[in-house]
Structure 1
Amino acid sequence: MASNRSKVPPQALLRVIEFARNSMAGLHRRLVPGHIALLEMIVAGFLTQAIHAAAALGVADALADGPRNGAELARATGANEDALHRLLQLLTSHGIFARRSDGKYTLTPMAQALRRDTSVSLRDTVLFFGSPMHRNHWTHLVDAVRTGETVGTDLDGMSFFDYVRKDRELGELFDRAMTSIGTLATEPLFAAYDFGQYGTIVDVGGGQGTLLTEILSRTPTSRGILFDLPEVVASAPARLAELGLADRCTVESGSFFETVPKGGDAYILKHIIHDWSDDKAKQILHTLREQMPEDATLLLIELVLPEDNRPHPGKFIDLEMLINVGGRERTEDQYRDFLAASGFTLVRRIPTVAPDNVLEVRPS
């Protein structure tokens, strides 16, 4: 399964740690001169590209079997030894790799997440966010802010989702990146919400079924329906059979702008609504409202922006949505109003220790 089912720390503890971390960061910004604090933020982009270079070179994979010196690591990655040393002196200073007293480089917990063969790997996420297309889009943030429109159509001649469907190498990297990000929230999600209360669960836009198969493995009395575009779910039946879930999960294909499977007790939309403009998102919700039973529950799994000014991952992702797909992140009140306009009532919001929340929604 996608997750290693590790123990999830209590939400209260993580909230205290988050508060302390944000307080210390805020104190640092107030104590140093403003231009120094700003410069530190500016060069943070260099670190992002350095991490991308390490992932693209396969440095973490080359260290999977044990420590190596610079010459050995350069040969294993096909890199210039001096240039690789210069890259790693930045990354080791931030704890992403470590260098021992004998000069050999080793993996750290962060570097482990750059390996391609770990249960929770962010390698594909790093490669996607550092890809030329993604970097190019972000250089046009000023255009997106001026116009309020996504930049992809002008730059690529088509929408983001059409582009990654056409360029399958990039599209498959994007799919893997989104799957790897999704695995980070798996344990927090199951720690916070009981999916076993539903008999038939429909995962709308569920991709290859990573979330749904995890749900079914933990809730043996539930059945599932995986729904996504035909090309997305084409290989899903074979995967379900491999996992021993073929008798409890069916696969249907189509566009959620037009239809969704009927007869579900719960309908999951995980990181779907935030991908689309208000009009498109309302179209998706209208389809759900027309097709799902009156007594069914809609479960939106999304980031929810805080109402205050504290740092939050959703504020980064909100700009990502603006630049690339024209979607947006929302606060709880914005979701409540948005859902009401689409014929739904937000019953409750269930936070997790990850940035994700479960929005439990029912037809009005």
Structure 2
Amino acid sequence: MDARRQLMEYLTGKWVPPVLATLAELGVADELVAKPLTTSELGVRVGADSRALHRVLRAAASVGVFVEVGDGRFGLTETASLLRSDVPGSLRDAARMFALEPFWSPYAQLTETVRTGEPAFDQVFGMSIYEYLQANPGAAQIFGATVASFHSQALKAIIASHDFSPYQTVVDVGGGSGNLLIELLQAYPECRGVLLELDSVLPTASSTIAAAGLSDRIELVAGDFFAAVPAGDAYLVKSNLHNFGDDKALELLHVVRRGNAPVLVIETMIPAGNDPHYSKFDDIEMMTIAGGDDRTEQEWSELVTAAGFAVRAVLPADERFSILIADPIYVSS
């Protein structure tokens, strides 16, 4: 591919997310499970103009998401199947989220973020992303579902990469719906879990944990991880610290340090070199939307050390996540 064509593909790539988001919002993939359908048939089922729907599906098919099979009918591809609502690892909510105004319009102010170092989201909406989500439960629901779906396929690899048997009670700090604890406790029947989360998140977590049959082994604790953490033999902090700049991330780690137990920081780590990696653009998302940072292994190690921990090991879990294991440093008086 010549340089001009390559750059044009990057520039016009902005057209793809809204197309996929529209098809996800309409639930088109769910309607195509049994067989390909015409856009007239689909339009009736999903409540859309058949001509407009044809144009959007044709665009999606051109990048391998859905396929036109002839006679005006469209069907699923393997990629399009991930937009179904009923498949493991569904990315339907992720497709919907990335085209929502709060996750789209701040990028128009990215240049200002680069000039000032301040998140564009706050400039556009006059509040942080976290304040916005608290005030907009619909967006918060899609955001939570997106986080769960984005990380679901990595959970088994994360648990398999470390021996959790020494820990009788594991505290998941800001653990969302509890999926990581569920995976952990299913692999280690002798272990118990504590989920620390906001009041607003706990009802979803309670349902998720109950569905896994683990309500008797996971304690739900409502709280603010910047204030205090429950007692435990180890602390999991997954995909939380990258939401914050160094000062707030260090504040959170200092609170965890007061628990006097090992911390397992589970995050994506930016590799050296020019090769593509999820973390390099996730870092831009963090900078633009949340004011956070993805970090290199060295930067993560320095942050954890500054909070009063000694890094024991860094273990790769899968292509995105690594586990940094650190022990509290005890200073003799």
TM-score range, shorter chain: over 0.9
Distance verdict in 2 for CA 1:238–1:113, change over 3 Å: closer
Whether contact under 8 Å (2:82, 2:91) holds in the other structure is yes
* 2:242 aligned partner, one-letter code: H
Match of 2:109 in 1: 140
Match of 1:172 in 2: 141
Match of 1:185 in 2: 154
Match of 2:269 in 1: 304
Q: Residue 276 of structure 1: CA displacement?
A: 0.8
* 2:256 aligned partner, one-letter code: L
Q: Residue 114 of structure 1: CA displacement?
A: 0.4
Provide the secondary structure at the position in 1 that maps to 2:221.
strand
Match of 1:153 in 2: 122
Whether contact under 8 Å (2:113, 2:288) holds in the other structure is yes
Match of 2:48 in 1: 79
Provide the secondary structure at the position in 2 that maps to 1:139.
helix
- Corresponding residue to 1:358 among 323, 326, 333: 323
Provide the secondary structure at the position in 2 that maps to 1:307.
coil
Distance 1:322 1:150 in 2: 6
Distance verdict in 2 for CA 1:278–1:239, change over 3 Å: same
Distance 1:45 1:257 in 2: 36
Match of 2:29 in 1: 60
Structure of higher RCO (CA pairs closer than 8 Å, 6+ residues apart)? 1
Distance 2:323 2:90 in 1: 24
- Corresponding residue to 1:341 among 306, 309, 320: 306
Deviations 1:19-54 (A, max 9, x none): xxxxxxxxx4xxx1x222211110111122211121
Deviates further, 58-67 or 38-47 = 58-67
Deviations 1:332-364 (A, max 9, x none): 111111111111122211112331111111112
Match of 1:125 in 2: 94
Deviations 1:129-163 (A, max 9, x none): 11122111111111111100012222222111011
Q: Which runs of 4+ in 1 moved over 4 A?
A: none
Whether contact under 8 Å (1:58, 1:77) holds in the other structure is yes
Whether contact under 8 Å (2:156, 2:183) holds in the other structure is no
Distance 2:175 2:120 in 1: 26
Match of 2:241 in 1: 273
CA RMSD, aligned part only?
1.6
TM superposition score normalised by structure 1: 0.86
Distance verdict in 2 for CA 1:165–1:106, change over 3 Å: same
Deviates further, 155-164 or 190-199 = 190-199
Whether contact under 8 Å (2:24, 2:83) holds in the other structure is yes
- Corresponding residue to 2:254 among 255, 280, 286: 286
Match of 1:114 in 2: 83
Distance 1:41 1:157 in 2: 30
Q: Residue 235 of structure 1: CA displacement?
A: 4.8
Question: Where do 5+ consecutive residues of structure 1 fail to align?
Answer: 1-27
Match of 1:4 in 2: none
Whether contact under 8 Å (1:188, 1:354) holds in the other structure is no
Distance 2:288 2:120 in 1: 6
Distance 1:144 1:349 in 2: 31
Q: Residue 86 of structure 1: CA displacement?
A: 1.7
